[in-house]
């Protein structure tokens, strides 16, 4: 071994521990940063819940947890009585019906984009879906006020009311008011707003299905639709269901478009076409006008209930994703 080879070997021996120390230090720094960032998100969520609970504690002491949740009277002007059941009912009804309306169209769009459309058309569909998702809710609310609500009033509500008035007047109280602003209009707009989320997550779930799954079905003589129905959709059901539940969470928390179109009626019972209210809509409508401390505390307590509801929905989505996750080609 000549002198230059000895120097190179010696240099390698000297530098090797240094490299190991740098790698160890870099790993520790990276792990610390990731843990801190993850912990900050968790602490932020707990901090939000703590602030909402603390600010709503006055209403909680005044009415009680379940009494406030089940109360039907919301009177901040005279009686100072606050019950959130009308808003909880409106939130659940509009969100669940919006999901029911949008689920199958969203799945159909995802299937067409992932399985049937050529690449150029699939890109166009994806861009349009993303464009709808990017439109601010207040813009959709303005469109609903000036376009959808008048059209629904003239083309749908008035003909139904005229028919009911002639044939079955007893239906009029159930139908409500044909002015165009109400729970039905808000639900339709809400369904349009959550379609992009369900579509995107459904397409991702469909594209994650291995090619072997499709090829095995084709080898058995299945048609294209049978491949999708029997091999692709069952394999992707976990992602589809998780996407649907996350879209439900998006619908539950929607504020501006719903507040602009739902009519904001604070009492029960609601009618089919009549006005209603949701938990986010009552917060955004009354927060700036809350003069009494009990009124403000009640709004904050509604926010706490809404936080719990959104947390339950997201935990359900995580559970479904884990339950129907794909491991080694099998549903576990």
Cα 186 to Cα 234: distance, rounded to the nearest angstrom: 32
In angstroms, the CA 92 to CA 76 distance is: 23
Provide the residue ranges of all domains of the chain, joining segments of one domain with +: 1-55, 71-331
- Mean residue pLDDT across the chain: 84
Instruction: Give φ, ψ of 98 to 5 degrees.
Output: -60, -40
Instruction: Catalogue the E-assigned strands of 90-147.
Output: none
Mean pLDDT (whole number) for 166-193: 87
Q: What is the pLDDT of residues 35-60, one digit of tens each?
A: 999 899 889 989 999 999 999 899 98
Residue 11: what pLDDT?
A: 54
Q: How confident is the model at residue 3 (pLDDT cuts 50, 70, 90)?
A: low
pLDDT tens sequence across 233-292: 888 888 888 888 888 888 998 888 898 999 888 877 778 888 889 999 999 988 888 778
Which two three-digit tokens encode residue 262? 């739902």
Tens-digit pLDDT profile for residues 67-83: 888 888 888 877 888 88
Q: Is 71-331 a domain of CATH 1.10.3720.10? A: yes
Over 80: is that where the pLDDT of 196 sits? yes
Most confident of 13-27, 148-162, 259-273: 148-162
pTM: 0.83
135-143 contact pairs (CB < 8 A, 24+): 136/256, 137/193, 137/254, 137/255, 137/256, 137/257, 138/256, 138/257, 138/260, 140/189, 140/192, 140/193, 140/257, 141/189, 141/256, 141/257, 141/258, 141/259, 141/260, 141/261, 142/260
Position 173 scores a pLDDT of 84
Taking a C-beta distance cutoff of 8 angstroms, is the pair 243, 255 a contact? no
Q: What is the pLDDT of residues 285-325, one digit of tens each?
A: 888 887 788 899 999 999 999 999 888 888 887 787 777 66
């Amino acid at each position: 071994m000549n002198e230059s080879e000895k120097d190179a070997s010696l240099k390698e021996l000297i530098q090797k521990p240094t490299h190991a120390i740098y790698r160890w230090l870099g790993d520790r720094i990276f792990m610390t940063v990731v843990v801190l960032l993850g912990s900050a998100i968790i602490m932020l969520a707990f901090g939000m819940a703590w602030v909402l609970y603390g600010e709503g504690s006055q209403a909680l002491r005044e009415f009680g947890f379940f009494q406030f949740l089940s109360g039907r009277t919301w009177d901040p002007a005279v009686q100072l009585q606050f019950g959130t059941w009308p808003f909880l009912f409106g939130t659940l009804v509009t969100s669940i019906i919006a999901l029911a309306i949008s689920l199958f169209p969203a799945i159909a769009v995802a299937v067409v984009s992932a399985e049937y459309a050529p690449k150029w058309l699939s890109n166009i569909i994806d861009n349009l879906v993303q464009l709808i998702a990017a439109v601010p809710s207040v813009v959709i609310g303005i469109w609903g006020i000036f376009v959808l609500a008048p059209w629904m009033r003239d083309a749908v509500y008035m003909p139904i009311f005229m028919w009911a008035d002639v044939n079955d007047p007893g239906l009029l109280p159930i139908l409500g008011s044909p002015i165009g602003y109400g729970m039905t209009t808000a639900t339709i707009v809400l369904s349009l707003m959550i379609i992009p989320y369900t579509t995107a997550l459904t397409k991702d779930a469909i594209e994650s299905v291995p090619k072997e799954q499709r090829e095995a079905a084709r080898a058995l003589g299945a048609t294209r639709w049978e491949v999708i129905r029997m091999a692709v959709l069952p394999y992707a059901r976990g992602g589809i269901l998780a996407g649907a539940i996350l879209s439900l969470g998006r619908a539950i928390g929607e504020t501006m478009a719903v507040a602009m179109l739902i009519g904001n009626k604070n009492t029960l019972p609601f009618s089919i076409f009549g006005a209603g209210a949701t938990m986010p809509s009552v917060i955004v409508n009354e927060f700036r006008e809350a003069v009494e401390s009990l009124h403000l505390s009640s709004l904050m307590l509604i926010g706490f209930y809404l936080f719990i509801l959104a947390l339950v929905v997201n935990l359900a989505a995580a559970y479904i994703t884990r339950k129907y996750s794909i491991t080694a080609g099998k549903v576990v």
